[in-house]
Each structure stands twice: as structure tokens, then as C-alpha cells.
Structure 1
Amino acid sequence: MPTIKPNPTAKHWDIFCTVVDNYGDIGVTWRLAKQLAAEYLLPVNLWVDDLHSFSHILPTLNPSLPQQTFNGVNIFQWNNPLDISYNAGQVVIEAFACELPEQVKTVIEQLHQCPQSQTPHWINLEYLSAEEWVEGCHGLPSTQMNGIKKWFYFPGFTHNTGGLICEKHILNDRIQWQANPNNKMALFADLGLHGIKVNDTVISVFSYETDALPALIHHWQTSATAIHALVPKGRSLTSLASVLNCDTQNLIPGQQFSLGNLTVHILPMTDQIGFDRLLWSADFNIVRGEDSFLRAQWAAKPFIWHIYPQEDDYHLVKLEAFMKIYCDNLPAEIATPWREVNLAFNQGDQNAIVSYWQQLNSVILPLQQHAINWPNNALNDADLASRLVQFVKNS
């Protein structure tokens, strides 16, 4: 059993994260932790229950070490019960309702009962949503049985929400990267991708399983110009087993398949910087979950969002809410095919996805311009980390 050390003078932040779907939740919390450490010079402890999955997006991480530090962030193995001493700091973040360890709750309660001490700000960081109800719930406290307040923090797209994760430098980095085509060509070479010419169409694919993907693959084969689909091993590739006529589990990064005018490239996993640059380098991005969904927006390229499936198709409600915001000032001839492509991909509609993809391709240039303008509109003057720091100061 670890030593419990209530320390009301400590100024560090603790972020607790359980790894869901391999990379989604940890992708968000890792970006947030890095940004808090780099831009606000905050000592940050990131507690993670699955360091092996984490290491796929942080290759230098050693899954067998219980404590290590990268990018100014202390990374701890979160076992249940905790077997590492917990020292309470200024803020404790429960990412995506992951449920804090009992030892941590005990420390928070001890500090709350001591008049001379300061109870850490206990924050539940929720999933990103564009739904209207988020504004009414963001920043509300929930009093626990022991009288402690837990604050609910909702990321979102409006001024009255918690904002969106976006490092202060990332948009300028992207603009500089995209200004020189040599950058993307060098990246493709580093990833072991061959045969891509500078003016070829490149589509990155990072989705869940869906019948819509093989339908698009078949359609892309008949393109009048060269298309390259970049697909990492995992759930997207599983959907393509029948198309590629092989066991996708045995494929290795660097392999490629020529299908008419389409080449399917098997991608290696990359760290988050590498993933950002991949999205910047593609002409169209198919992304999933939350982290890659936002990074596709900062890439300023047209995209499909494959949202995580939920019971009773509630994920489609969340998709519709985002599409309403994203298409707010788009003419119908542009907005309609983009909306329908996203719906068809999420519903696995093979016929609709091809029909609307053809329509979307005819308006790809104005859609591209909209994608370029979108990041500044979406940020609403302040990113999530900035709003979160201010939220703690005001609470």
C-alpha cells in the first residue's frame, strides 16, 4: 500500500486517464498535459492505466517503468489500488469520468475536513460535444456525499464552453509546413511510402470498421488521377480484408497494394507530432474519436469524422450537432454533400457514400477554403488549456 501524503502547498496538477479504444482518451489527456507543462509551466502528473497502448503514440515511453518523465510531464502507472505514493496538489482531473482511485478520494476528503488545508480542485473533464445543452452544464459543481465539490468541465465550440485543445504554436506550424511541398514528400519517404508524386491525391484513413470504407476503395480505383490511401494497421484495415484479399493482421508498414488508379499504403504508427504532420500532408482526412477529430480540423483540410458508435445511434445526434456548426455559413451545394458523406460513412451506407463522394469532389475547392478558415472560428479566442487554467483561478 502506498504512502498517502496530503500536501496542501503543492502546486502540481494530477490528471487520471483510463485508456479507451487504445488511443482516444490518452491522446486527449497527453496533449493537455504537455500543453499545461509547456505553456503554463505547471508541474503535471499524468496517471495512466495502460502504458503499453500509450507507448504507441509515445514510442520513447517504456511500458515496464512505473514512473518516467517526458515533455516536462511526470507519467505514472496507475494500478488499482495505487502502488505509487500519491501527493495531493492544486488540481486533480478525472478524465472522461474514469473514477478516481479510492486512495485519492481519501486524500481529498482528509484535506476537505481540515480547516487549515486547501482541497484540490476536483474536475471531471468530459468528452467534446457540439450539442446545445453543453453550455448549460459546463462549469457546474456536483456536491459529493462528503460535501466536496466536483466540477464538470465540458469542452466545446462556443464561448460558454470549455474550449478546444489547441497548442498556441500549432496553427502557425501547420501553415509553414504546408507552404513547402517538400515537407510532405520528405514525410512520406520517412514513413516508407513509395510512388507518391507531389500532385497525387493523398487520403489518410484512421477510422473504425465500416462497410462504407471498402465502397470508397472500390470507387477510388476508377479515379481518372492517382489516389493514395494511407491506412495504419488496426480497425480501418480490418474493414479492407476482403478488398485486399489478405489477412490484414499480417501486413507490415511500408507494404502497398495497387488497385487500378488507387494505391493503398500500410502506415507505421507515429507519435502525435508525426500524426499532425500526416494530416497536414494529406488532401483529405478520415478520422475517428475525439483527438484525431480535432487534429483534422487544425490541419485545415476536408475530412470525414467517424464518431464512436453509441447505443440507439446517439452518436449520430452528436455528429449532427457538429455538422450544424461546421456548415453554419456554407452554401447548401457544399454543405449537403459533405453532411451526407459523413452520415453515409457513419451508417456504413455503401451506395450513398459513393454517390455523395462524387458530389463532394465537385465542390472540393470551396470546401478546402472553408477548412482553412474554420480553425480561427472554432477557437473562439481561447483554447481549452487557457480556459481551464482560468477556470481553476476563478473557482
Structure 2
Amino acid sequence: MKASWDIFCSVVDNYGDIGVTWRLARQLVAEHQQCVRLWVDDLRAFVPLCPEADAGVAQQWQQGVQVCQWPEQWPEVEVADVVVEAFACKLPEAYLHAMKARPAPPLWINLEYLSAEDWVSGCHGLPSLRPDGLKRMFFFPGFGEGTGGLLREADLLARRRAFDQSPQAKQAFLQGLGVYAAENACLISLFAYENSGLASWLDAMAAGNKPTHLLVPQGRIMGDLLRWLGMEALAPGAVEQRGSLVVQALPFVRQQDYDTLLWCCDFNAVRGEDSFVRAQWAGRPFLWHIYEQEENAHWDKLNAFLALYVKDLTPAAAHAFTSLWHAWNAGSDMASGWNLLLEHWPELTAHAERWCLEQSLQADLAQALVLFYRNWI
């Protein structure tokens, strides 16, 4: 059933919100033949993810999605069948009035942030009735039954496995980025917020017995990296070596290429929500830098996910994994945690793939949203 969708995205200070909504919009069009209009309040944040886009064009079509600048003065537009309010952004008052005036009310979905906390399944799909008569439905992505699942394109894992089985494809992709790693090097990607624990991790890798090639896309962690290197700048493609560690800066790449970068690496350090989910679909051990929240609320989310993720690991491997994540998110010393994790590398690598397969058994987020709409009408 073809429906119209308005997805509203307010960019805060990172790429997570627009990253998730852009993936969702593309998938709704490509796999479910929905008509999607994506409203973004900062198109400049959209362009790095979709380089063919133009931040100066208020309305444009990209990959089947109508991408629109969210204006301060709201225009008269037809209300969609499904209205997605992503991550607690507030809908324009004029649009809310138009929703009330619509003969058949739209399905209004508040798409929440991803969490593994126990309470999520109890709140997923619940309504909230406003005094003006409009009803909003809460929709929670998640990791198990009773949630909305995770964003995952239908052919994602098949494409990743085909890539894994083609050394030529991996080599061609990396060389396209100017990456020529030693054959026996451990390839690691690093995409994170500022972190005072980075220097200790870099020290540990530089002092390690095995060569490591660290790939760092342009982002907020670059300042900490430059301080450790003792440099003022590191241009995309530039390479620096310290001991056993080779550090290479990369350009900020489009979403599809970032997915492929994760597939190329043996270990991925990621941040926020979008890259967090994509690292899990890569089927590799990974490290999550969660977005900090007031009153340290993010630690509840972090520990809830860790408890779920490590439950099938041996106690020693679970301790190593948890210790490294805690050190990273506390900005504390990483050396002992990293060296301990290396002792359990084979188990953690096998577990990452099992986790990926387990999560792929549930409906993906776009599929769950479409089904939710069909059941609602």
C-alpha cells in the first residue's frame, strides 16, 4: 500500500539524526515504494552524507526522496499520511494545525532514540493523546521482540558477505581511498567524539607487537589525534607512523562508503546511533562512544546494551569487552583494556558475527514502520 510520509529531522550538532532519517527515507522509497518527503533544518549537515545534494536548494530530489529545507516560516503543504517526528524534534505549529484540519487524521509517529533498556518494549507502540485531539504514537527501535528493530536494508548482509569473499573488492575500495596497509596489519577505523582516553589507546597500539593501521575519517576526534601526533594538521590521505601504529586520515565519506569502510576493518570504533548500528551489521568487534546526556543518563543506555551483547561470551571475554567500553566512555586509560581485549580476539570476532545474524532475524525498522501503518489503517 503506497502512502505519503513526512519525516522531520532537526540536526543538533552531529550527523546521527540526519544519518538515521536519511537511511530510513531511502529505504522506505527503494524497498516499500512509499512517497517520502524529508524535512531537514540544516541541509549543510546533509551534504556530507549525500555529496550530490546542494545545501542552497530548498527542495530537491535525491535517490527518490524529496529532500526539503525545514523553513522558519512554514509553507502551506499537504499533510502526509504518515508523519514521523524523529528524535523528539517539535513539529511546526502550522503543520500541527493542518494535521487537525485533515479529514482523515495522519498516523503521527514519534521515532525515539535507540536503547536496549528494559522499559523500551513496554513503551513501544503506545499512544499519547494531546488536549487538541491529536494522537501521537511512540515508536522505539530496539534489539528484541516488542521493539521496532534496527535499520537494515533487505540486501545489506548479502552485499557484505559478497564483499567479504572478494579480496579484490576490498583492495580496490581501500586503494580508492589511498589506503595501502601492510598485509599483516590490523585495520581499525576510528570515528568518535573528543576523548581524553585516546592518547593511551594510541600509545598501546604503537607499543604493540602487531602492526596496526588506524583509519580516521574527518571528525571531532581529529583534534585529540593531532595532539598525540604533535602536529597541527593531517590532510586526508596523509600517513604518519609511530612505532607499530600507522595513522591515516580519511575524508568524510558518503553513507554507503562508510558502510564499506566498516566491512574492510578488523575493528571499528564508532559513535552516536547511526554508525553504532552499522558497526553491528559489519559483523566485527567494535567500540561505541555513546553521546553524553545530562545527569549521566547515557551510562544506563550503555550498560543496558553491554549486558545484552556480552551475555553469550565467556566471563573473561565479557569482562575484557566491558572494561574497554567503560574506559573509552569515561575518557580514562585504555592500555590495559585494549591489551586484555586482544587476548580474546578470536572469541570476540566470532561473537560479533553471531550477534549480527541474531539481530537480522527480527524485522528491520523500515519494515516495522510500514507494517505499523498498515495495521493502524
* TM-score bracket for the superposition, by shorter chain length: over 0.9
Distance 2:296 2:275 in 1: 21
Gaps of 5+ in 2: none
- Structure 2 counterparts to residues 284-323 of structure 1, below 5 A: 284-323=267-306
TM-score, length of structure 2 as denominator length: 0.97
Matched, 1:58 2:59: no
Identical-pair percentage? 44
**Residue in 2 aligned with 1:120?**
106
Indicate which of 186, 196, 207 corresponds to 2:192: 207
Indicate which of 160, 163, 174 corresponds to 2:160: 174
- CA RMSD between the two structures: 1.2
TM-score, length of structure 1 as denominator length: 0.93
Indicate which of 252, 259, 266 corresponds to 1:269: 252
Distance 1:81 1:376 in 2: 46
Distance 1:307 1:335 in 2: 19
**Residue in 2 aligned with 1:184?**
170
**Residue in 2 aligned with 1:354?**
335
Give SS of 2:221's match. helix
CA contact (8 A) 1:163 1:379 kept: no
Give SS of 1:305's match. strand
- Structure 2 counterparts to residues 1-395 of structure 1, below 5 A: 11-83=3-75, 85-111=76-102, 117-194=103-180, 196-248=181-233, 251-350=234-333, 353-395=334-376
Shift in Å, 1:81: 2.0
Distance 1:29 1:98 in 2: 12
CA contact (8 A) 2:144 2:362 kept: no
Shift in Å, 1:252: 1.9
Shift in Å, 1:379: 3.5
Distance 2:86 2:341 in 1: 36
Gaps of 5+ in 1: 1-9, 112-116
Distance 1:347 1:371 in 2: 23
CA contact (8 A) 1:229 1:265 kept: yes
Distance 1:94 1:337 in 2: 38
Shift in Å, 1:22: 2.7
Distance 1:192 1:380 in 2: 36
Distance 2:267 2:256 in 1: 18
Alignment-mate amino acid for residue 68 of structure 1: Q
Give SS of 1:246's match. coil
After superposition, what is the alpha-carbon deviation per residue over 1:298-324, rounded to whole angstroms, capped at 9, x for unaligned? 000000010001122211110000011
CA contact (8 A) 2:203 2:335 kept: no
After superposition, what is the alpha-carbon deviation per residue over 1:90-148, rounded to whole angstroms, capped at 9, x for unaligned? 1010000110111211100112xxxxx21111111000000000011111111112111
Alignment-mate amino acid for residue 336 of structure 2: S
Alignment-mate amino acid for residue 384 of structure 1: L
Distance 1:136 1:388 in 2: 17
Count of residue pairs brought into register by the alignment: 375
Distance 2:12 2:50 in 1: 16
Give SS of 2:85's match. strand
Alignment-mate amino acid for residue 99 of structure 2: I
Alignment-mate amino acid for residue 311 of structure 2: D
Distance 1:238 1:88 in 2: 44
